[in-house]
Amino acid sequence: MKYILAIDQGTTSTRAHIYGQRGECVCGYQREFPQIYPKPGWVEHSPADIWSSVRSVVELALNGAGLAAADIAAVGITNQRETTVVWDRRTGEPVYNAIVWQCRRTADYCKKLVHDGFSERIYNRTGLVPDAYFSATKIKWILDNVDGARERAERGELCFGTVDTYLLFKLSGGKIFATDYTNAARTMLFNIHTLEWDKELLRLFDIPSGMLPHVYPSAHDFGEIETEPLKGVHVHSVVGDQQGSLFGQGCFEAGDIKNTYGTGCFLLMNTGGAPVKSENGLVTTLGATAGGKPCYVLEGSVFVGGAVVQWLRDGMGLIKSAAASGRAALRAKNSGGVYVVPAFTGLGAPYWDANARGTITGITRGTTKDQIIRASLEGIAYQVYDVVKAMEKDAGISITRLSVDGGASANRFLMQFQSDILRAEVVRSRSGESTVLGAAFLAGISAGVWSEGDVLKLLGGGARRVFLPGMDEGERLSLLSGWKKAVERARLN
Ligand code: ADP
């Protein structure tokens, strides 16, 4: 009997889960690590903190399950995407902290790229819109701002990696320098059509090609771990977290779509073997498959998802816990014409309006606290609706089912309302851990433990919760028209 160990290195915490041959979770451990905010809008992690959090959850998981390296058939890695580490090839020593995907320090430079007309060239090659999110401008910032870094990089002494690459390097004692298609696709340096690092973009950002890792499929034998406690085991998968979740949700076919309801919402749609160009403000990226070639994916995000519930709890003091929001919404029966547009930091896809701000409309003397809470949850679902509609338009596909996970997907009211408003089935995964499960399945497939068909069967066998649409069509259309008006008002700010 062999097991799969999957590591999920996330933005605020790291997890390690061990899965048995039937895909059952034997045990899972999670550890938070410090966030570093050197200036407003800047976010960093210490690579040493990331590495020690990984080592500690791996040890906890092995001990918790009473297993040793010899019992593990394969290791899978999924990770926060775009976060950028630059380190010395010989010593493994980072030259600067990891610059986290959320960090806005290169926002002005990205604005200039847009202003100077580079958007289309970048989109045509990478599928991305120039933004501080992606790794390219973060690498450039390190080379431009850390003493001696550019010279060292030009001499071939420095390595760049997203977190997966850094972990592979550490786990293998410096022997593996690699990443996968899904992580490479988020750097803004990778050509998603030729599946190669793009020479012209490397010139544009002034990044030496020698710094870049080899790129492989997500399900692949990346090589052997040389450090304890996993010495001798091979890493058999690497996948960016959102693509890990897409795979872990079993979204293997074109038109399959998932949403993760976390702090923000991340929607990804598998579009199959061909990229879909977005006319509606989505990005085109690569997804994980069981085979050698990646699939293409449309991605859209909502900045404020579960975060509106945190605001109700911590900012407004209207609820004591996130879970209390669902009970309040059910008590309210309806939102009484109130709409909450949680555009706290502007609106993402499909509006892309940085100036929009949070807005509550339709308040009367009779409006209750519970109705404001209900309208806030509905505001999450309407934003997801808007992104799904943009995906349908771009892909020319009509959605009948949305697979969901993430913290706020625990909210039954929200899931039922989402299903009603989309007029589609909403399927909540069995474990709420699709991301780490995706990495485990990919690793198991690469190591020959499972086939893709086995994985689909394992996914189908688990307990899932399905929400079916039941709302009267007249009511649905009237609610949606009210939402449209509320969004227009949020954009007047
Ligand atoms: P992240 O990975 O972004 O930290 P999680 O997937 O852990 O996010 O989800 C956390 C988010 O989910 C928080 O914003 C929290 O407010 C929200 N949340 C958690 N439980 C509920 C619930 N029962 N109802 C609504 N929102 C919830």
Write out pLDDT tens, residues 322-376: 999 999 999 999 999 999 999 988 888 888 887 888 999 999 999 999 999 999 9
From 125-139, 154-168, 341-355, the region with the lowest mean pLDDT: 341-355
Q: What is the pLDDT of residue 372?
A: 98
Among residues 185, 221, 160, 179, which one has the least CA distance to residue 78? 179
What percentage of the chain exceeds 90 in pLDDT? 82
Among residues 219, 167, 291, which one has the least CA distance to residue 441? 219
Query: Average pLDDT of the chain?
Result: 94
Q: How confident is residue 464, by pLDDT bands cut at 50, 70 and 90?
A: confident
> Tell me: domain 250-428+463-493, CATH 3.30.450.20, correct?
no
Nearest atom in ligand 1 to 260's CA:
6
Q: What is the pLDDT of residue 457?
A: 81
141-163 CB burial, b ≥16 within 10 A, e <16: bbbeebeebbebbeeebbbbbbb
Token pair of 338, please? 């109130």
Yes or no: say if 207 and 139 are a contact pair by the CB < 8 Å rule: yes
pTM: 0.92
Alpha-carbon torsion (483, 489, 491, 493), positive or negative: negative
Pinpoint the residues of the chain covered by CATH 3.30.420.40.
Answer: 3-242, 250-428+463-493
Strand 85-88, strand 178-180: pairing? unpaired
Q: What is the pLDDT of residue 245?
A: 95
Nearest atom in ligand 1 to 405's CA:
6
411 lines ligand 1 (CB under 6 A): yes
> pLDDT digits over 45-57, tens only?
999 999 999 999 9
> How many residues does this entry show for the chain?
493
> pLDDT digits over 206-219, tens only?
999 999 999 999 99
Q: What is the pLDDT of residue 1?
A: 65
Yes or no: say if 17 and 5 are a contact pair by the CB < 8 Å rule: yes
CA–CA separation, 82 vs 135, rounded Å?
A: 5
Q: What's the 208 CA to ligand 1 centre distance in angstroms?
A: 40
326 lines ligand 1 (CB under 6 A): yes
Nearest atom in ligand 1 to 306's CA:
14
CA–CA separation, 321 vs 268, rounded Å?
A: 29
Q: What is the mean pLDDT of residues 177-186?
A: 97
Q: What is the mean pLDDT of residues 290-317?
A: 92
Query: Fold for domain 3-242?
Result: Nucleotidyltransferase; domain 5 (3.30.420)
